[in-house]
Structures are given as C-alpha cells and as structure tokens.
Amino acid sequence: MEGHKSKRSKVALGIIMFLCCLAAIYLGISAYFIKHFYLGSTINSMNVSGKTVEEVNEKMSSEIQNYSLELQEKGDVKEQIKGSDIDVKYSQDGESKIKSLKDNQNPLGWISGVFGKKNNETTELISYDEQLLNKVLNGLPGINSKNVVESKDASFEYGDGGYKIVNEVYGNKIDKEVLKQKVSDAIVKEDTTLDLDSSDCYKKPKYTADSQEVTDAKNTLDKYTNVTITYASGNNKEVVDGSAIHNWLSVDDDMQVAFDEKKVKKYVSTKLGSTFNTFGKTRDFTTTSGSKVKVSGGDYGWLIDSTKETKDLIETIKSGQSTTKEPIYAQKAVSSDKNDIGNTYVEVNFTKQHVWFYKNGSLVTDGPCVSGNVSLKLATPPGTYALNYKEKNATLKGEDYSSPVTYWMPFNGNVGLHDASWRSPNEFGGSTYLTSGSHGCVNLPVELAHKIFDNIEAGTPVVCYNE
C-alpha cells in the first residue's frame, strides 16, 4: 500500500512540475509580447508580427517615404501620384496610434495570434499637402485633355416614324470632386492603386435609355406630335401636325417636356398669319367704274391674336386630341372669303371726289364729296378701314375750328364721313379738295350723309383710294 502511494505522489509531482514549466514558458513569452505585437498582427495590411512599436513606426515611416498611388483610367491609361509630389509624411499622430494599437493587445493573450490573424485598420497615419494634391489633380490629362468626352443622357430624335430614343453616352470626363475624395481616402488607407471607373470617379449619365423618366418623356412627346390641328376659316386652311410641333418641343435636364412659346408664337404670327391675316395687306379692289386698283394702308382686316392663340394652341396640343378650329382673332373682317370686304362697304374715290355706298351688293346711294386739303398737306389717307361707330349731332373740334355736324361716321381716328352744311352744293366734287379741302375728313352733302348714316353699321369697310 505504501508503495502505491509513493508512486502516485511522484506522478502528481511530475505533473505539477510540468505545468509550472509550461506556465513559466507562457509567462516568458508573454513578457516578450509586452513590447511586441502578436504573431499574425497586421496594420493596414502591413505585417507587424513580433515587431515593437518603434520598429513599426520606423517601417511605416520608411514605406510612406516611398509611397505612390497609381490611377487606373479608362482606355488603359495610367497616371501616378508620387508621395514626394504631394509632400506625403508619416503623421505626428502615427506613433501614438501605433502605440494605442499595441496597448490594446494584452500580453497574456498572445496565444490568440497563433490561431488567427488580426488586421488593425487605422487612419491618419499619413499627412499630405492638400494644395499640392489639388495642383497634381488639376494637371492630370484626364481632367484637362482636349480629348475628354462628356457623358450624355439618353435623348430623343424625331423622324418619319415619330420619336426614337437615342442611347446615353458614357464619357471619360472625371468628376474632380469625387476623384479628390477617392484619392484622399486611398492615401489615408495607403492604397497603392485606384481604379477610377470602379470607384465612380467619372461623370455618368443621369438618365439612360432604360430609365422610366426617359420612357415617360417619349410617351409625352409622342402624345403631342400625334395631334393634328386643322385651322379653317372661309376658304383658308392650315394643318398643324407633328412635322411642325416637334420643332417647338424640348426635354430639360429632368426629362420634363416643355414648349418653346417663342417658337410657337412665331409660327402663329408668320405661318398662320400669312394664311389668315388680311390686316395691313394690299388689296386688289374693283372700283365702281370697273377699273382695278391696289389699296394699301388702313386698319381693316382679319388679325390673329398671337398671344391668345399661342396659349390655346399649346393647350390643344397638350390635350392630345386632334381637332378643327378657327384662330382666335384680335380683329375680324366682315367676310372670310378672299375678298374680305364683302358686298357692304363705302367706296371713296379721291381722284373723282365721289362716294358710293353699297349694301348687300346693291348701291344704296352715291354722290360728290370733298376730302382733305391737299395744298395744306391734309389729304385724307388712302386705305381700307372699318367704321368705328356712328353718332348723331356731334361737334368736331380742332386747333382752329369747332364744327357741329348732324351725321358723324369716323373710320380712321378723327377722320370720318360727315355732312358739311357750311358748303354750298357746287363746292362738292371737282377740284375743291386741292386748295379748299377739309382738315382730313370726307365732307358730304347733308342728304348723302343722311342716307349713308341710316343704312350703315359699325365695322362696315370704308375703302379710300386714288385712281
């Protein structure tokens, strides 16, 4: 029995001594790791296994002095930013940061490094001159090259079949602000390469052919250009369709379709105006005697209200509904035929000093007149006018006269038809107007003025001409 006890005591003592040896070895190794990094330790991917803080700092400083960053651009173009170009240095806070990392490693936990690597990421180990970096970046060919291609959003092209989408363009223009940030991040991390494309340093299109906004814009463009608006007035007709409408449309940077109102208004004023406007045009007029004269001047005729019609045209197109309509007029004539004077009008022949009044194609009355005094340069202006209104018992006033009249029918400002009871019957007609004419009005015998007054209405054309 005593022999067995003695044997067990020796075994126990041996185990204790072995464990004490292991403990001594472990503590000895732990003492080593008081000043050294664990095995398997890396800092920013740099192997610092078994190194002291001083050794790490020295290695960091040495590698930073030789630091360079390669920029990998499109087209297999490569640029290099050398650390010396931007005054790269090991930062003043570097040593304290490395020491802090070491202090976080408990020497007694060194065994964990044997079974698993530990990478420590830390920043601000590197400092650089930001102004020098800006200068280097500004000098890169990828920023200043004449061969830089701008990225373009998907766009639209109008043709015989309507609109089609033109694919976006991916250019090689660098976004300087993004590049600066990516380069700064790379330097801080001590990366040695930076792929500009995968790092999104290039300006990209905002909208591609597959973007919903592009599809929506195309649908709107198609909606507008599929509209057909037929303008019709009398025998005149003008058709507005996609061939004209597409010239007025644009798509902004947010893929919103807009109308160019100036272009629409120009179309209304010129194209529609040339078809429907008669205001200010020279007219071919057949006189009572059968001769044909050209009558220019006056304020009579059809005149489109360009502002209102422009807005109405745009709204009609936006509705997407084809329609037939008349233009919106600022002024109308009595007839929409080629001869917009119609068959009710006053005819004044200055050469013959004679007036005729036709109503519904029939002569109502006619007689001699006296027009403006030619010698005093007060001749009545020729042209085609619309009667403004008619007024009974009016007083006509000027700088040197005040004349009461019974029948007053103005058609051109203060110029009008009226009776002139102060003239004797033999003064009307002939050559009286050359030296003793009116102040510009058309003087009529009382009976003639009365007959016209009783049958005429405001808006009736008054055609004045020299034959």
Show which residues are catalytic. 418, 441
Residue 363: burial class (beta carbons within 10 Å; 0-12, 13-18, 19+): exposed
- If we measure between CA atoms, which residue out of 151, 150, 156, 149 comes closest to residue 255? 156
Question: Sign of the CA dihedral 78, 84, 86, 92?
Answer: positive
Tokens of 336: 């929409």
| Measured distance CA(66)–CA(394) in Å, rounded | 105
CA-to-CA dists, residue 159 to 156, 163, 246, 249, 318, angstroms: 10, 6, 10, 14, 20
| Distance of alpha carbon 262 from the chain centroid | 13
* 371 torsion bin: left (phi>0), alpha (psi -120 to 50), beta (else): beta
- If we measure between CA atoms, which residue out of 354, 373, 363 comes closest to residue 428? 354
Query: 400 Cβ partners below 8 Å, 6+ apart?
Result: none
* 349 torsion bin: left (phi>0), alpha (psi -120 to 50), beta (else): beta
Q: Report whether 366 contacts 357 (CB < 8 A).
A: yes
- If we measure between CA atoms, which residue out of 218, 239, 216, 219 comes closest to residue 229? 239
- If we measure between CA atoms, which residue out of 269, 285, 267, 265 comes closest to residue 277? 269
Tokens of 278: 């008669």
CA-to-CA dists, residue 383 to 14, 269, 343, angstroms: 137, 22, 17
DSSP H helices, 268-408, are 273-276, 306-319
| Measured distance CA(191)–CA(180) in Å, rounded | 14
Amino acid letter for position 392? K
Tokens of 15: 């185990």
DSSP state, residue 430:
T
| Run of H or E residues at 357 | strand 354-359
